[in-house]
Structure 1
Amino acid sequence: MENKAAFYNRLTKQALALIDGESDLIANTSNISALLNMELEEINWVGFYFLKEEQLVLGPFQGKPACVRIPLGKGVCGTAIAENKVQRVDDVHQFEGHIVCDSASNSEIVIPFSVKGNLYGVLDVDSPNLSRFDQNDEDGLVSFIEELQKKL
Protein backbone atom coordinates (compact mmCIF):
# COMPACT_ATOMS: atom_id res chain seq x y z
CA MET A 1 0.00 0.00 0.00
CA GLU A 2 1.19 3.52 -0.76
CA ASN A 3 2.22 5.58 2.25
CA LYS A 4 -0.77 6.61 4.33
CA ALA A 5 -0.42 10.36 3.81
CA ALA A 6 -0.49 9.91 0.04
CA PHE A 7 -3.34 7.40 0.35
CA TYR A 8 -5.54 9.77 2.37
CA ASN A 9 -4.68 12.68 0.10
CA ARG A 10 -5.82 10.66 -2.93
CA LEU A 11 -8.91 9.45 -1.05
CA THR A 12 -9.85 13.04 -0.16
CA LYS A 13 -9.54 14.12 -3.79
CA GLN A 14 -11.73 11.21 -4.88
CA ALA A 15 -14.38 12.06 -2.28
CA LEU A 16 -14.40 15.73 -3.21
CA ALA A 17 -14.84 14.79 -6.88
CA LEU A 18 -17.73 12.46 -5.94
CA ILE A 19 -19.67 15.20 -4.15
CA ASP A 20 -18.78 18.06 -6.48
CA GLY A 21 -21.95 19.82 -7.54
CA GLU A 22 -24.23 17.81 -5.24
CA SER A 23 -25.74 19.51 -2.19
CA ASP A 24 -27.79 16.66 -0.71
CA LEU A 25 -26.17 15.47 2.52
CA ILE A 26 -27.65 11.96 2.37
CA ALA A 27 -26.52 11.42 -1.21
CA ASN A 28 -23.04 12.72 -0.41
CA THR A 29 -22.54 10.74 2.78
CA SER A 30 -23.86 7.63 1.01
CA ASN A 31 -21.23 7.92 -1.69
CA ILE A 32 -18.52 8.80 0.82
CA SER A 33 -19.27 5.74 2.95
CA ALA A 34 -19.22 3.55 -0.18
CA LEU A 35 -15.89 5.04 -1.25
CA LEU A 36 -14.35 4.49 2.18
CA ASN A 37 -15.65 0.92 2.27
CA MET A 38 -14.10 0.26 -1.13
CA GLU A 39 -10.73 1.87 -0.35
CA LEU A 40 -9.98 1.21 3.33
CA GLU A 41 -8.43 -2.16 4.09
CA GLU A 42 -9.25 -4.39 7.03
CA ILE A 43 -12.53 -2.74 7.99
CA ASN A 44 -15.95 -4.29 8.51
CA TRP A 45 -18.16 -1.20 8.92
CA VAL A 46 -18.02 2.44 7.89
CA GLY A 47 -20.70 5.07 8.06
CA PHE A 48 -22.21 8.18 9.50
CA TYR A 49 -24.33 9.02 12.50
CA PHE A 50 -26.17 12.36 12.62
CA LEU A 51 -26.85 14.38 15.77
CA LYS A 52 -30.61 14.73 16.28
CA GLU A 53 -32.37 15.74 19.49
CA GLU A 54 -29.55 14.86 21.91
CA GLN A 55 -28.70 11.52 20.30
CA LEU A 56 -26.92 10.11 17.28
CA VAL A 57 -29.12 8.59 14.59
CA LEU A 58 -27.82 6.14 12.00
CA GLY A 59 -27.09 7.62 8.58
CA PRO A 60 -25.64 6.15 5.39
CA PHE A 61 -23.24 3.26 5.96
CA GLN A 62 -21.65 0.15 4.51
CA GLY A 63 -21.62 -3.08 6.51
CA LYS A 64 -23.93 -5.18 8.65
CA PRO A 65 -27.05 -3.62 10.17
CA ALA A 66 -26.11 -1.22 12.96
CA CYS A 67 -27.39 0.40 16.12
CA VAL A 68 -29.95 3.00 15.06
CA ARG A 69 -29.76 5.42 18.00
CA ILE A 70 -26.83 6.16 20.31
CA PRO A 71 -27.22 8.44 23.34
CA LEU A 72 -24.71 11.26 23.74
CA GLY A 73 -21.80 10.18 25.89
CA LYS A 74 -22.48 6.47 25.37
CA GLY A 75 -20.18 4.16 23.48
CA VAL A 76 -17.34 5.30 21.24
CA CYS A 77 -19.58 7.34 18.91
CA GLY A 78 -21.56 8.98 21.70
CA THR A 79 -18.33 9.89 23.49
CA ALA A 80 -16.83 11.37 20.32
CA ILE A 81 -19.82 13.65 19.74
CA ALA A 82 -20.20 14.60 23.43
CA GLU A 83 -16.54 15.58 23.67
CA ASN A 84 -16.28 16.79 20.04
CA LYS A 85 -13.05 14.82 19.93
CA VAL A 86 -11.70 11.97 17.82
CA GLN A 87 -11.91 8.60 19.54
CA ARG A 88 -9.35 6.03 18.35
CA VAL A 89 -9.80 2.77 20.23
CA ASP A 90 -7.35 -0.11 19.80
CA ASP A 91 -9.63 -2.61 21.57
CA VAL A 92 -13.30 -1.68 21.82
CA HIS A 93 -13.87 -4.42 24.39
CA GLN A 94 -11.72 -2.39 26.81
CA PHE A 95 -13.69 0.83 26.17
CA GLU A 96 -16.03 1.42 29.10
CA GLY A 97 -19.61 1.61 27.88
CA HIS A 98 -18.82 0.22 24.42
CA ILE A 99 -22.02 -0.51 22.51
CA VAL A 100 -21.78 -3.77 20.57
CA CYS A 101 -23.45 -3.45 17.19
CA ASP A 102 -21.26 -6.06 15.47
CA SER A 103 -19.41 -8.52 17.69
CA ALA A 104 -16.77 -8.90 14.95
CA SER A 105 -15.57 -5.31 15.51
CA ASN A 106 -12.43 -5.07 17.64
CA SER A 107 -11.08 -1.58 16.97
CA GLU A 108 -12.72 1.68 15.98
CA ILE A 109 -12.08 5.27 15.03
CA VAL A 110 -14.76 7.96 15.24
CA ILE A 111 -14.34 11.49 13.87
CA PRO A 112 -16.86 14.25 14.69
CA PHE A 113 -17.81 16.58 11.84
CA SER A 114 -19.66 19.84 11.35
CA VAL A 115 -22.01 21.17 8.68
CA LYS A 116 -22.12 24.92 8.16
CA GLY A 117 -20.15 25.43 11.36
CA ASN A 118 -22.44 23.35 13.57
CA LEU A 119 -21.49 20.00 15.10
CA TYR A 120 -23.55 17.59 13.02
CA GLY A 121 -22.42 14.00 13.51
CA VAL A 122 -19.63 11.47 13.31
CA LEU A 123 -17.85 9.29 10.81
CA ASP A 124 -17.45 5.83 12.34
CA VAL A 125 -15.04 3.18 11.04
CA ASP A 126 -14.78 -0.30 12.61
CA SER A 127 -12.29 -3.09 12.05
CA PRO A 128 -12.20 -6.76 13.01
CA ASN A 129 -8.48 -6.28 13.79
CA LEU A 130 -7.19 -5.02 17.11
CA SER A 131 -5.19 -1.77 16.84
CA ARG A 132 -6.16 -1.35 13.16
CA PHE A 133 -6.01 2.45 13.26
CA ASP A 134 -2.79 4.33 14.02
CA GLN A 135 -1.89 8.01 14.25
CA ASN A 136 -1.43 8.16 10.47
CA ASP A 137 -4.98 6.90 9.95
CA GLU A 138 -6.29 9.40 12.48
CA ASP A 139 -4.43 12.28 10.83
CA GLY A 140 -5.57 11.17 7.38
CA LEU A 141 -9.22 10.73 8.33
CA VAL A 142 -9.32 14.00 10.26
CA SER A 143 -7.91 15.83 7.23
CA PHE A 144 -10.38 13.94 5.01
CA ILE A 145 -13.32 15.09 7.16
CA GLU A 146 -12.00 18.65 7.45
CA GLU A 147 -11.94 18.98 3.67
CA LEU A 148 -15.30 17.27 3.15
CA GLN A 149 -17.18 19.27 5.75
CA LYS A 150 -16.36 22.43 3.78
CA LYS A 151 -18.53 20.97 0.99
CA LEU A 152 -21.27 19.24 2.98
Structure 2
Amino acid sequence: MVMSNPFIVGPSASEKVDQSLPMFTEFAWNFEKDDFVYKRDGSHEIVTGKEAIKVWVLHVLRCERYRYLAYFDDYGLELERFIGTGPNDGQRRTELFHYVKEGLMVNPYITNVTALKVNQEHKKVIMEIHLETVYGEVAMGIEV
Protein backbone atom coordinates (compact mmCIF):
# COMPACT_ATOMS: atom_id res chain seq x y z
CA MET A 1 0.00 0.00 0.00
CA VAL A 2 1.38 3.43 -0.96
CA MET A 3 0.91 6.28 1.51
CA SER A 4 0.93 9.95 0.66
CA ASN A 5 3.73 12.15 1.95
CA PRO A 6 2.45 15.57 3.16
CA PHE A 7 5.60 17.27 1.89
CA ILE A 8 8.54 16.49 -0.32
CA VAL A 9 11.41 14.43 0.99
CA GLY A 10 14.09 16.85 2.06
CA PRO A 11 17.36 17.03 3.93
CA SER A 12 17.66 15.97 7.53
CA ALA A 13 17.77 18.60 10.27
CA SER A 14 21.57 18.47 10.34
CA GLU A 15 21.96 19.18 6.62
CA LYS A 16 21.85 22.63 5.06
CA VAL A 17 18.49 23.27 3.43
CA ASP A 18 18.52 23.68 -0.33
CA GLN A 19 17.08 27.10 -1.18
CA SER A 20 15.74 25.70 -4.45
CA LEU A 21 12.81 23.91 -2.76
CA PRO A 22 9.48 24.57 -4.49
CA MET A 23 7.20 27.16 -2.87
CA PHE A 24 5.53 25.63 0.19
CA THR A 25 1.72 25.78 -0.13
CA GLU A 26 -1.19 24.85 2.10
CA PHE A 27 -4.93 25.43 2.21
CA ALA A 28 -5.63 28.74 3.98
CA TRP A 29 -6.78 28.43 7.58
CA ASN A 30 -8.77 30.90 9.69
CA PHE A 31 -7.12 30.51 13.10
CA GLU A 32 -9.89 32.43 14.91
CA LYS A 33 -12.75 30.34 13.47
CA ASP A 34 -10.65 27.16 13.34
CA ASP A 35 -11.77 26.39 9.81
CA PHE A 36 -10.63 26.51 6.20
CA VAL A 37 -10.88 29.73 4.20
CA TYR A 38 -12.89 29.44 1.02
CA LYS A 39 -13.12 31.60 -2.08
CA ARG A 40 -16.47 32.94 -3.31
CA ASP A 41 -16.75 30.01 -5.73
CA GLY A 42 -16.42 27.51 -2.85
CA SER A 43 -12.89 26.40 -3.64
CA HIS A 44 -10.11 26.49 -1.06
CA GLU A 45 -7.99 29.60 -0.69
CA ILE A 46 -4.28 28.77 -0.97
CA VAL A 47 -1.46 30.33 1.09
CA THR A 48 2.28 30.09 0.51
CA GLY A 49 5.54 30.70 2.35
CA LYS A 50 5.44 31.67 6.03
CA GLU A 51 1.65 31.59 6.23
CA ALA A 52 1.63 28.04 4.82
CA ILE A 53 4.22 27.00 7.42
CA LYS A 54 1.93 28.28 10.22
CA VAL A 55 -0.98 26.22 8.87
CA TRP A 56 1.21 23.12 8.56
CA VAL A 57 2.48 23.54 12.14
CA LEU A 58 -1.08 23.77 13.47
CA HIS A 59 -2.09 20.57 11.73
CA VAL A 60 1.01 18.67 12.80
CA LEU A 61 0.33 19.65 16.41
CA ARG A 62 -3.17 18.20 16.13
CA CYS A 63 -2.10 14.89 14.62
CA GLU A 64 -0.95 12.11 16.93
CA ARG A 65 2.03 10.36 15.34
CA TYR A 66 1.60 6.74 14.21
CA ARG A 67 -2.21 6.85 14.53
CA TYR A 68 -3.29 7.46 10.93
CA LEU A 69 -2.21 5.26 8.04
CA ALA A 70 -2.59 8.18 5.61
CA TYR A 71 0.64 9.73 6.92
CA PHE A 72 4.21 8.55 7.09
CA ASP A 73 5.52 7.78 10.57
CA ASP A 74 7.43 11.06 10.79
CA TYR A 75 4.25 13.19 10.54
CA GLY A 76 2.60 14.35 13.77
CA LEU A 77 3.63 14.41 17.41
CA GLU A 78 3.63 11.93 20.27
CA LEU A 79 1.83 14.04 22.84
CA GLU A 80 -0.67 11.58 24.32
CA ARG A 81 2.09 10.15 26.51
CA PHE A 82 2.02 13.44 28.46
CA ILE A 83 -1.70 13.39 29.27
CA GLY A 84 -2.33 12.47 32.89
CA THR A 85 0.98 10.66 33.33
CA GLY A 86 2.91 12.95 35.62
CA PRO A 87 3.36 16.44 36.96
CA ASN A 88 3.71 19.34 34.52
CA ASP A 89 7.00 20.44 36.04
CA GLY A 90 10.03 22.00 34.37
CA GLN A 91 11.51 18.68 33.33
CA ARG A 92 8.25 17.56 31.66
CA ARG A 93 7.90 20.90 29.87
CA THR A 94 11.44 20.54 28.51
CA GLU A 95 10.69 16.99 27.36
CA LEU A 96 7.45 18.19 25.77
CA PHE A 97 9.31 20.90 23.85
CA HIS A 98 11.78 18.32 22.53
CA TYR A 99 8.89 16.24 21.17
CA VAL A 100 7.38 19.33 19.54
CA LYS A 101 10.72 20.30 18.02
CA GLU A 102 11.33 16.77 16.71
CA GLY A 103 7.89 16.72 15.10
CA LEU A 104 8.36 20.08 13.40
CA MET A 105 11.90 19.52 12.18
CA VAL A 106 10.81 16.80 9.74
CA ASN A 107 9.62 19.59 7.45
CA PRO A 108 12.52 20.54 5.14
CA TYR A 109 11.28 24.15 5.07
CA ILE A 110 11.86 24.53 8.84
CA THR A 111 15.55 24.88 9.70
CA ASN A 112 15.35 25.42 13.49
CA VAL A 113 12.85 25.56 16.35
CA THR A 114 13.49 27.30 19.66
CA ALA A 115 11.26 27.83 22.68
CA LEU A 116 10.90 31.47 23.63
CA LYS A 117 8.69 30.75 26.61
CA VAL A 118 6.96 27.71 28.11
CA ASN A 119 4.21 28.47 30.63
CA GLN A 120 1.65 26.37 32.43
CA GLU A 121 -1.89 27.70 32.74
CA HIS A 122 -3.81 25.29 34.96
CA LYS A 123 -3.47 21.95 33.13
CA LYS A 124 -2.47 23.45 29.77
CA VAL A 125 1.07 24.09 28.62
CA ILE A 126 1.41 27.19 26.44
CA MET A 127 4.57 27.47 24.32
CA GLU A 128 5.83 30.45 22.43
CA ILE A 129 8.07 29.03 19.75
CA HIS A 130 10.36 30.62 17.22
CA LEU A 131 10.72 28.94 13.84
CA GLU A 132 13.53 29.60 11.44
CA THR A 133 12.33 28.72 7.96
CA VAL A 134 13.66 29.07 4.44
CA TYR A 135 11.25 32.05 4.19
CA GLY A 136 12.47 33.82 7.33
CA GLU A 137 11.50 33.79 10.98
CA VAL A 138 8.05 32.93 12.35
CA ALA A 139 6.88 33.24 15.96
CA MET A 140 3.86 31.25 17.14
CA GLY A 141 2.00 30.63 20.35
CA ILE A 142 0.83 27.04 20.65
CA GLU A 143 -1.18 25.14 23.23
CA VAL A 144 -0.15 21.56 23.90
TM bin (shorter chain): 0.3 to 0.5
- Give the TM-score taking structure 2 as reference length: 0.37
TM-score computed with the length of structure 1 as normaliser: 0.35
Please state which structure has a larger fraction of its residues in helix. 1
**Which structure has the larger Rg over C-alpha atoms?**
2
